[in-house]
Structure 1
Amino acid sequence: MMMTTVMTTTATTMTEHRRGVTARTRILAWILLLVTIAIVAIVAVTGRSLFSRADAQVAAELSHEADKFRAFASKPDPRTGTEFFAVREVLTSHLQHNLAEDSEMFFSIIDGVADRRSGGDPTVRLDQDSAFVRTAAAVTTPTTGTLTTDAGPVKYAVIPVSVEGDPATGQLVIAEFLAPEYDEAWSTIWIMSIVAIVSLLLAGVTGWFIAGRVLAPIRDVRTTAARITETDLGRRIDVVGNDDVAQLAVTFNGMLDRLETAFTGQRRFLDDAGHELRTPITVIRGHLDVMSDDPDDREQTMHLVNDELERMSRLVDDLIMLARSERPDFLMVARTDLTDLVIETFAKATALADRRWSIAETPEAFAIVDEQRLTQALLQLATNAVAHTDDGDAIALGGRVADDRLQLWVSDTGDGIAEGDHERIFQRFARGSAETRRHGTGLGLAIVARIAEAHSGHVRIDSTPGDGATFTLDLPLTSPKEQQ
């Protein structure tokens, strides 16, 4: 009988041990599965972000090189101090003065034949690729594209060049090799993957012991319950709380919250970038389309275009770094002539659409504000007004200073806004309940509100459905920095 009892006890102990190992393995497997999915998602999203950032940096470099050439071509020849009289002269002089980095290449095409190239030893000689040279030589307007080579993908820009009085045709080819940027991105991904694998192994070993400690109270409960019999009613189940498991869930949820915040910020960054670049591009295209041969008109138009290009460049730089509204240098305040601000913004806004544009009032004062941010906000409000009006409707811009407050507004005679939508439309991706005209992302008014808040102000709406709307930026005259 004693032997039978011992054997039964031993068998029960072994069964309990096997159950404990199985439960620990099952829990550890689920934990490792969840961690693996999270790590794979992190690596995948990070990799996509790195490649997208590499493409954006190369595109920005192409634009920068194109701007450098245009600036160079508009000045006298640095060698002679005279204007360029031949296409070959301007291209050759630019290549001599503009040195290429290891990951880029510049060369010129004269009358369909590759002529000169920048110094250095590029990984691929695109000027020796006859098919590419023929394609580039046929370009008559600035063109960008991607080319697949033995050294990896190459992004390029072709800028046609002509000089009055010279019958020759020419093109400047700017090539940026993506392989170095992609190699750096892959290196980061591999490092993250190795670290993730090592971390996963460490988590597995640690999790095995942690799972044992977490399951220990559960095993004690099960053992105690199994030993309770009708002859031993004095035993009680010592219920142990699951504080460790709860804390693990809280920690894991905190990690997911941080990841969601990071990914949401990235999506908002691209939406803001795509949305905010539309308005300045529309302004530039509108003024270039109506530009005449009159020198004064050309000078005024180029001034507006250059101003918009500078604003676009600053916007892109801000977005590449950190979320704009969270940065301490989001605003670049300076003493600003408010009258000039309203008039110049009005000149840019008139290119958005055919409306009855007018200036209702100008603020005859100076203020410490960020001129470019306020221009951006007013142009966005003008774009919003255009979207809610038809040809022939009236849109007015204005501003005034009263009681140490600056008020800048855009009013229209369009659809108007329901009172219940006055606060909601400033939220991200929100639109009016009766909105049928716009097809954008719904970020414009949210951006306007953030610019006003950065100036320690707010946006106010005065509107009656069917009788137009007025959006007013109500800001203090003092500098946001002085208020801190």
Structure 2
Amino acid sequence: MRKAFRNACQCNTTRKNSKDIACGINAHLERVEQFMARERALLDQASHEFRTPIAVISGAPDVLARQALPACAAPPIQRMRATVDNLTEIMVALLYLSREPMSSAPDDPVELDRRLPGLVKDHQHLLDGKPVQFSVHIHQTLCLQVPEAMLRIAIGNLLRNAAENTYDGTITVRLKDGVLSVTDSGEGFDTAQASLHYLSLLRNPTRAGTGKGLGLFLVRRICERFRWTLTLESMPTLGTRAELDFQTRLVQYR
């Protein structure tokens, strides 16, 4: 009888401990859900607050462009427009990536082979005043079922990095076998150091805006969201080759 009583007490203790653990887990999950709800509300509010000033600023270059200004004013106005566009893209990317993926209607297919020349042209101003040129080679038709804004941001960051770090030569943009590559003859960088920087941003995302590397951070996060593969090959002073492999998200590929 004593043994049976002892076993019953142990069972009661086990049930109580299990109940306490379950309550603790449920409380933790509830706190996480509340935190995520606050984050979403903050992001929605921030998005609303940012749209108006960005819209006002983005209209300023258009107003200036219609004025009778000297020719030397054109490059600064173009830089203003490019900077605002870049800020808008960063805001869109951050807001998109901060939300959980939703199983909504599929995105419209994006014909990358048709969009790519225009996207490269949008970054042509970054080469002004430098003996550098883009060279675009399209070897296939390629459709991707992803938000076009995310595709533009990912490719645009690679083009911008290549343009800003190349001072002489050619930046080759190639679409072939489901892979987009951007190859430059610029400064290059230490890939090991860049990987460590990216890992530090993952551990502490609040540092993403404190220095260089936000562009690469965004590209990698976009790739993770859409299961693309980003490959970087670079050596200091020898240039960089960046590849985006879209194989997992192809709609049409031939």
Q: Please say whether Structure 1 and Structure 2 have the same fold, judged by a TM-score greater than 0.5.
A: yes
What residue in structure 2 maps to residue 251 of structure 1? 26
Tell me the matched-pair count. 216
**3-state SS, counterpart of residue 250 of structure 1:** helix
Q: What is the Cα-based RMSD across aligned positions, in Å?
A: 5.2
1:363-416 deviations in whole A, cap 9, x for unaligned?
A: 1432112554322212122333456x37x35572502213xx232325351241
What residue in structure 2 maps to residue 351 of structure 1? 125
Larger Rg: 1
Q: Distance in 2 between matches of 1:330 and 1:412?
A: 42
What's the CA shift for 1:270? 8.7
Q: Distance in 1 between matches of 2:215 and 2:49?
A: 11
What's the CA shift for 1:473? 0.9
| Paired residue type of 2:155 | L
- TM norm structure 2: 0.57
Residue 477 to residue 253, structure 1, CA distance change in 2 (3 Å): closer
| Paired residue type of 1:246 | I
Q: Indicate the structure with greater helix content.
A: 2
**3-state SS, counterpart of residue 180 of structure 2:** strand
- 1:379 pairs, out of 119, 137, 156, with 156
**3-state SS, counterpart of residue 362 of structure 1:** strand
Residue 458 to residue 442, structure 1, CA distance change in 2 (3 Å): same
Residue 449 to residue 285, structure 1, CA distance change in 2 (3 Å): farther
The percentage of counterpart residues that share the same residue type is 14
Is 1:464 the counterpart of 2:245 in the alignment? no
What's the CA shift for 1:267? 7.0
What's the CA shift for 1:254? 2.2
The answer as to whether partners of 1:417 and 1:464 remain within 8 angstroms in 2 is yes
| Paired residue type of 1:429 | L
What's the CA shift for 1:417? 2.5
- 1:449 pairs, out of 198, 203, 220, with 220
Q: Distance in 2 between matches of 1:443 and 1:269?
A: 21
Q: Distance in 2 between matches of 1:272 and 1:427?
A: 27
Matches within 5 A, 1:359-438: 359-369=134-144, 370=146, 371-385=148-162, 389=165, 392-393=167-168, 396-402=171-177, 405-409=178-182, 411=184, 413-419=186-192, 421-422=194-195, 424-426=196-198, 429=201
Q: Distance in 1 between matches of 2:57 and 2:199?
A: 24
| Paired residue type of 1:417 | D
- TM norm structure 1: 0.34
**3-state SS, counterpart of residue 358 of structure 1:** strand
Q: Distance in 1 between matches of 2:198 and 2:183?
A: 16
**3-state SS, counterpart of residue 444 of structure 1:** helix
Is 1:327 the counterpart of 2:98 in the alignment? no
Matches within 5 A, 1:153-172: none
Q: Distance in 1 between matches of 2:138 and 2:228?
A: 17
**3-state SS, counterpart of residue 259 of structure 1:** helix
What's the CA shift for 1:465? 3.0
Q: Distance in 2 between matches of 1:459 and 1:271?
A: 30
5+ long unaligned stretches in structure 1: 1-235, 432-437
What's the CA shift for 1:425? 4.9
5+ long unaligned stretches in structure 2: 1-5, 69-73, 204-208
Matches within 5 A, 1:218-367: 241=13, 242-243=16-17, 244-263=19-38, 319=95, 323=98, 326-328=101-103, 332-334=107-109, 336=111, 338=113, 340-352=114-126, 354=128, 355-367=130-142
| Paired residue type of 2:120 | F
Residue 328 to residue 245, structure 1, CA distance change in 2 (3 Å): closer
The answer as to whether partners of 1:398 and 1:408 remain within 8 angstroms in 2 is yes
**3-state SS, counterpart of residue 201 of structure 2:** coil
The answer as to whether partners of 1:428 and 1:442 remain within 8 angstroms in 2 is no
If asked which structure has higher relative contact order (CA below 8 Å, sep 6+), I would say: 2
1:220-254 deviations in whole A, cap 9, x for unaligned?
A: xxxxxxxxxxxxxxxx9x67635243333222222
Q: Distance in 1 between matches of 2:136 and 2:185?
A: 14
Q: Distance in 2 between matches of 1:248 and 1:407?
A: 50
What's the CA shift for 1:257? 2.9
| Paired residue type of 1:349 | H
What's the CA shift for 1:451? 3.5
What's the CA shift for 1:268? 7.6
Q: Distance in 2 between matches of 1:341 and 1:333?
A: 14
1:71-94 deviations in whole A, cap 9, x for unaligned?
A: xxxxxxxxxxxxxxxxxxxxxxxx
| Paired residue type of 1:366 | T
